[in-house]
Amino acid sequence: MIQFHLVAFAKIDKPELQERNITGISIEETIKENRKVDFDQLGIHQTKIYDFNLLEPEMEFFGPAVVEDPSTTVVIFPNQKCTVDKYANLHICISEGANE
């Protein structure tokens, strides 16, 4: 036998989404550091670097910002707003004037 191909389907239960706990940590306590970040045509900005694992539901902050996690990095450009939901999803408002 030179080659073998198998396709299988199985019905599984949907995983239950886990809500992120609220501990009362402040948004300032989630900042790992501040550093300069180059936003291409928007230039270089002093930028807050947030620890994703510390962010809690209903927290919000404005760009320029970077959210770091071991598996990904999320960039929030200047004048964008980021809000964390109860499942730790990051919602980024990209419209102009988001920080007004």
pLDDT in tens, 67-82: 999 999 999 999 999 9
- Residue 97 pLDDT greater than 70, yes or no: no
Domain-wise residue ranges, the chain: 27-93
How crowded is residue 90: how many other Cβ atoms within 10 Å of its Cβ?
16
62: helix, coil or strand? strand
Put simply, whether the predicted model's pTM sits higher than 0.85 gets the answer no
Shortest CA distance to 50 belongs to which of 72, 33, 25? 33
